[in-house]
Amino acid sequence: MHCLFCKADSSASRSVEHILPESLGNSRHVLSPGVVCDRCNNYFSREVEKPFLESPAIIELRFNQAVGSKKGRVPSVGGLVLPGPVAAKVWRRPFPDHSGLHLDLPEEYVDQFLTMKSGRLIVPKCGELPSGPVVSRFMAKVALEAMAAKLARHPNGVEYLVNETQLDLIRNHARRGETREWPVNQREIYGQDATWIDELNHEVQILHEFDVLMTDTSEWYFVMALFGIELVINYGGPELDGYNHWLVEHQGVSPLYSDKNSFDTRLRRPGK
């Protein structure tokens, strides 16, 4: 067995690789030990996933949706308590156990806050997800691993990906940061608080979902949505022309929904 990224012998590796980090609510989409070697697994955790997870927009998203880490910690955010204004650290417990917002105020303001008859908490918005190598290297890593998961059930499927030279460009971008400018398309396809009725007639939220799109010109794109923010990267190289053309031909419908893909690549939870 050889590692999907560095191509070294990975037969002795013991780490399970999460395609998406557990801090994005993923416990189901994993690769068996050896598909990604222990060394690459550790590298991605430190150098690729951590910068993405610690970007302001992702911290805000995880805070708003109470998505805990592997240890059950939801990131805190800074806010202002009015009237005042008084700066406060705001935190909450993970879903489904969170019981409202909790404030960490400077000690001199605690009594004042407790006696307030009315007030308001303002948590600043951080805007769009990160751009540049922080998001493109993260997407490149997730894209290759998602394809490996699809092929893992086939004999020699993962080895085929390891030996496929056409994937070396995106492989090296993920692992080494080569081809520094690699565009990732971002757009909102539904609101982060949106809910659906599933096949069991339960109201659910979709934390994340992903699929692989092959266009009529045989270009391959990885498409992922995090709480309704769609991210798209090209497996073959740093351009999005084929995806943009596909969108025009399909009236802007997301590839995740153009063919109503099954729920097997979606992680859901009960609606709020």
Q: What is the distance between the alpha carbons of residues 259 and 61, in angstroms, rounded to a whole number?
A: 28
Quote the tokens at residue 261: 């893909």
Q: Once rounded to an integer, what is the mean pLDDT over residues 207-234?
A: 94
Contact present, 261 and 253 (Cβ < 8 Å): no
The predicted structure's pLDDT at residue 262: 44
Name the band, by pLDDT with cuts 50, 70 and 90, for residue 86.
low
Residue positions counted in the chain: 272
244 has a pLDDT exceeding 90? yes
**Residue 50 carries which side chain, given as an amino acid letter?**
K
47-66: pLDDT as tens digits: 999 999 999 889 988 888 88
Name the band, by pLDDT with cuts 50, 70 and 90, for residue 215.
very high
110-163: pLDDT as tens digits: 566 556 555 566 666 766 777 899 999 999 999 999 999 999 888 899 999 999
Can you spell out the DSSP letters for 138-154? HHHHHHHHHHHHHHTTS
Q: Once rounded to an integer, what is the mean pLDDT over residues 225-253?
A: 95
The predicted structure's pLDDT at residue 263: 41
CB neighbour class for 231 (10 Å; exposed up to 12, middle 13-18, buried from 19): buried
The predicted structure's pLDDT at residue 80: 67
The predicted structure's pLDDT at residue 197: 82
Q: Once rounded to an integer, what is the mean pLDDT over residues 176-195?
A: 92
Q: How is residue 122 annotated by DSSP?
A: E
164 has a pLDDT exceeding 80? yes
Q: What pTM was computed for the model?
A: 0.87
CB atoms within 10 A of CB 207: 20
Residue whose pair of structure tokens reads 């708003």 in the numeric block: 64
The predicted structure's pLDDT at residue 261: 45
Tell me the average pLDDT of the chain: 86
The predicted structure's pLDDT at residue 195: 83
The predicted structure's pLDDT at residue 85: 64
The predicted structure's pLDDT at residue 207: 87
**Residue 46 carries which side chain, given as an amino acid letter?**
R
Helix then strand then coil, % of the chain, to nearest 5: 35, 20, 45
261: region left, alpha or beta (phi > 0 left; psi from -120 to 50 alpha) = beta
How would you list the strands of the sheet with 77-82, edge to edge? Answer: 102-104, 86-91, 77-82, 120-122
